[in-house]
Amino acid sequence: MDNVTHTLIGALIGETIAHTTPGDSQGLTSEVRRNLLVTTSAIGSNLPDVDLFYSFIGGKINYLLQHRGYSHTIIGALLLAVATFAIARWILRRRGHVPSSQDRAWLTGVLVITPLLHIGMDFTNNYGVHPFWPLVDRWFYGDAVFIAEPLLWAACAPLAFTFRSKLARFIVAAVLAIGIGLALLTALVPLAPAIVLIALIAAMLLLGWRAQQSVALVGGVALWLGVTAMFAVSSQVAARRVETLAATTFHDARSIDHVLTPMPSNPLCWEVMLVQTQDDAVVARRMMLALAPSLIPAESCLSRSLDLPSTAPLAPVQANDSAELHWYGEVATGVEALKSRVAVDCEAAAAMRFIRVPWLATVGADLVLGDLRYDREQGLGFAEVALHDPPGPCPRLVPDWRPPRAELLQ
């Protein structure tokens, strides 16, 4: 999830707690308490992304494995919460504020919940997290929510009225305007979902303007949870439909995974990466799935990347399009070729600890190992690695994450 969404949701939680829970007359003033809860909640919602300060060190492989790495685990999140709690107490003491035991309890609760919430929100995307390390070292994928979802921004619209500073209100208004702009001015959101998004933003702004602040904030939280639940249910429907289509369309293939990404503000259109084994090869197939083709057929689902040129040498899919699905190419990689390369090349082995939709092919003068999830350009993207002959030096400090496609390497 993007940091704008993390920050807005965190601030929404902080504002809601501040407006719906009683303070302690023996503790912080209401203004100081509110500022503390909102600020620490917004910060706590971004704490796991502290890995951005070091994940870029050491090259592409390090970024792939360290981002959403140790700081995106339950242990890491709680350690960050403890450190932030200590800093907050120090700042309060320096400014002469003495929190009561109730104030400290709410501060503790906010700083425990919001970093864990960050991990949960990141889980809803297709990048993945591994929250239960070191007990469980595999990736977990939600495949349910677009990484920058404007409907979640709509849930935060009441903040445009509850924030105290003009700058903060302007930032919320700017984010909402960007959401509307994405819906109307880009080829990402069809007309019907765009109308729904704009109507929800207008309704939440009206709620923030006319209703009591506590009511408006609770309404924002309810919309945020409702939108997340809607996409989660839609994801499950899409997953079942993909499994059925895979079984009926490719009789000789065995499905081992599918990656789902909804389009922004649109739970009816899903980008799908279908991973199968067939004829001693792992085949990655891309398609657009329409859950309600009578309303929005697959060809009318606006894709962010499927129709762009790719680094992977895609071939046409030998299957027919329909109103329900539209194919966007496939790439096949010999399982033995992939396995043997990983066995002798520790850079390839490290990359496979991240890669979920693998492909291996010669592109120009380079042998490239990539992840089709993020192949959106003809040149090497952030999830594609040019391998060397002979293999280069091993990457340093490689986390011991279980490869998503471990079954292909055994």
pLDDT band at 223 (very low <50, low <70, confident <90, very high): very high
CA–CA distance, 122 with 113 (Å, rounded to integer): 14
CA–CA distance, 353 with 345 (Å, rounded to integer): 13
pLDDT (average), residues 316-337 = 94
pLDDT band at 125 (very low <50, low <70, confident <90, very high): very high
pLDDT band at 351 (very low <50, low <70, confident <90, very high): very high
pLDDT (average), residues 312-320 = 93
Q: Does some domain include residue 56?
A: yes
pLDDT of residue 337: 94
Neighbour count for residue 203 (Cβ, 10 Å): 14
pLDDT of residue 55: 82
Phi, psi (deg, nearest 5) at residue 214: -65, -40
- 256-302 tens-digit pLDDT: 999 999 999 999 999 999 999 999 999 999 999 999 999 999 988 87
Answer yes or no: is pLDDT of 228 > 90: yes
pLDDT band at 127 (very low <50, low <70, confident <90, very high): very high
Q: Does some domain include residue 63?
A: yes
pLDDT of residue 356: 96
Both structure tokens of 280 = 């001693």
Answer yes or no: is pLDDT of 378 > 90: no
Q: Does some domain include residue 101?
A: yes
CA–CA distance, 83 with 265 (Å, rounded to integer): 36
pLDDT of residue 241: 95
pLDDT band at 339 (very low <50, low <70, confident <90, very high): very high
Mean pLDDT of the chain: 92
Answer yes or no: is pLDDT of 115 > 90: yes
Q: Does some domain include residue 137?
A: yes
Is 384 within 8 Å of 375 (Cβ atoms)? Answer: yes
Is 21 within 8 Å of 185 (Cβ atoms)? Answer: no
* Nearest alpha carbon to residue 295 among 255, 271, 318, 267: 267
- 7-36 tens-digit pLDDT: 999 999 999 999 999 887 788 898 999 999
Query: Which residue(s) pair with 11 in the sheet?
Result: none
pLDDT band at 119 (very low <50, low <70, confident <90, very high): very high
CA–CA distance, 179 with 153 (Å, rounded to integer): 7
Residues 6 or more apart from 262 whose CB is under 8 A from it? 144, 145, 146, 231, 234, 235, 269, 270, 271
Both structure tokens of 351 = 């990359």
Query: Largest alpha-carbon pair distance within the chain?
Result: 73
Is 368 within 8 Å of 310 (Cβ atoms)? Answer: no
- 146-203 tens-digit pLDDT: 999 999 999 999 999 999 889 999 999 999 999 898 888 877 788 888 899 999 999 9
The CA angle 79-82-85, to the nearest 5 degrees, is 150
* Nearest alpha carbon to residue 117 among 234, 263, 235, 14: 14
Domain range for 72: 1-142
pLDDT of residue 60: 84
Could you tell me whether strands 281-290 and 384-387 are parallel, antiparallel, or unpaired per DSSP bridges? unpaired
* Domains held by the chain: number: 1
CA–CA distance, 365 with 254 (Å, rounded to integer): 32
Q: Does some domain include residue 249?
A: no
Neighbour count for residue 110 (Cβ, 10 Å): 29
CA–CA distance, 375 with 355 (Å, rounded to integer): 12
Q: Does some domain include residue 352?
A: no
Answer yes or no: is pLDDT of 372 > 80: yes
Q: Does some domain include residue 107?
A: yes
Is 73 within 8 Å of 130 (Cβ atoms)? Answer: yes
Q: Does some domain include residue 367?
A: no
Strands (DSSP E) along 350-399, which ranges? 358-363, 366-371, 384-387
